[in-house]
Copies of this chain bind each other. A is one copy, B any other.
Amino acid sequence: MTEVSVRPVVSSPSAKRSQLIDVDVHERADLQALVPYLEPMWRKYITDFGWQPERVLPYSQYAAGGLDRLDAKLPDGRPGGSDYDLLRRQLLDEHDIDYAVLTGWLDASALQPGWAEFKTALMSAYNDWQIADWLSRDDRLLGSVHVNAHDPIGAAREIDRIGSHPKMVQAILYIADKAFGDPYYHPIYEAIARNNLALGFHHSENAPTALGFHRYFVEWHTLVPQVFMSELVSLIFNGVFDKHPELKVFMIEGGFTYVPHLMSRADQQYKELRSEVPWVKRMPSDIIRQQVRFATQPTEEMSLTQFMRLIDWCESDELFCFSTDYPHWDFDSPTEALPQGLSEDLQRKIFVENAQNGYAKMPALRTAGQ
């Protein structure tokens, strides 16, 4: 690896962002709210048969509000992200956000295999509800097409049905226990590519670690980045990036300190073993630099020097995109999460440009100072 001097650091406390894209914001549906969007035959799965989202995690989130920021829960007991007005006040207005990419909730606890057609229909209902209840209410909200990955043809059909909606910028897969580079899932990526969308991967409570679900929540939560590494390795070595060289992939809610290790390790293995996967034509680190973006949340406290060295090790300052993960308990504030003293140039990349360059359908921003 060679060193590149990425950017001079201008350690000016007055360097201030004027624009902000948040690539991970969770709106939340009550399951009952989706019933009207379903065909009658699928409604019965909820109303009569009592289907509930499947949740594998053997603990709940160890925080005062459980999954949510305590102040993001509604007085009537509804979970964070249920109410547009509160989300607008606490997130969009409070932090002066230009665009927020909605990343949903239902998939996070749902979508194990089983009842594939019902779940494909449920995702369609979710997307229609998302458009009606969220995207149509605020110009700043952008959407994610939710799909049932266990029905790849149905997922592709859903992407073709709704992916051309002007506010849909990506299709999103919640990571559970499947390696999504398998050709079984490739119809999904073909549909994403022909609809000019990005592909988002988001963590879920159904994602295991290499040794399953450990005894404590803190163990599981420490090891969250593993499934992100696994998905990237699966996509890279199964040729998804080679089949779709224009595809951009967002890794959401796994942090980013694992990226240099993954690049270094994958490159080394590629050098030694690439004849096993001759369809992979580029070094994994090059593929990542060219086609992958990482949402920053949850950030780890680090000094400015360490953050810059991490970027330097990645040999790119275009990989990281800011995200809050509102309304969850480990919310990252745009003013506090990243080290102080980032140069204006780097701030503009992390807070705005890297997301803009990753989402082909991201609308133009209001101009600075407007």
Contacts and interface: CB of A to CB of B under 8 A. Distances in A.
A287 interface: no
Contacts of A233: 214, 219, 222-223
Interface stretch (A79-87, A116-124, A159-167, A294-302): A294-302
Interface stretch (A37-45, A88-96, A135-143, A264-272): A264-272
A132 interface: no
Contacts of A303: 1-3
A231 B182 CA distance: 28
Contact of A265 (B217, B270, B300): B300
B257 A261 contact: yes
Contacts of A309: 309, 313
Given A257-B265, A258-B261, A305-B3, A234 B221 contact: no
A216 B230 contact: no
A1 B301 contact: yes
A276 B222 CA distance: 13
A320 to B, nearest CB: 14
Contacts of A368: none
Given A178-B211, A209-B230, A300-B265, A62 B273 contact: yes
A9 interface: no
Given A3-B306, A233-B223, A269-B221, A209 B210 contact: yes
B214 A179 contact: yes
B237 A273 contact: no
A28 B160 CA distance: 57
This protein's copies in its complex: 2
A222 B269 contact: yes
Nearest to A272: B330
User: Which of A2, A226, A277 has the most chain B CB atoms inside 10 A of its CB?
Assistant: A226
Interface string A250-270: 000001011011001111111
Interface residues on A, range: 35 or more
Given A3-B305, A264-B302, A223 B229 contact: yes
A130 interface: no
Contacts of A276: 62, 216-218
Contacts of A221: 269, 273
B257 A215 contact: no
A266 B222 CA distance: 6
B300 A211 contact: no
A104 interface: no
A172 interface: no
Contacts of A75: none
Contacts of A255: 265
Contacts of A274: 218
A191 interface: no
A177 interface: yes
B2 A215 contact: no
B178 A218 contact: no
Contacts of A219: 179, 181, 233-234, 237
A292 interface: no
Interface of A: 1-3, 62, 177-179, 181-182, 207-212, 214-219, 221-223, 225-227, 229-231, 233-234, 237-238, 255, 257-258, 260-261, 264-274, 276-277, 298, 300-303, 305-306, 309, 313, 330
11 contacts: A1-B303, A177-B211, A207-B210, A211-B231, A218-B237, A219-B234, A222-B233, A226-B229, A257-B264, A268-B298, A306-B313
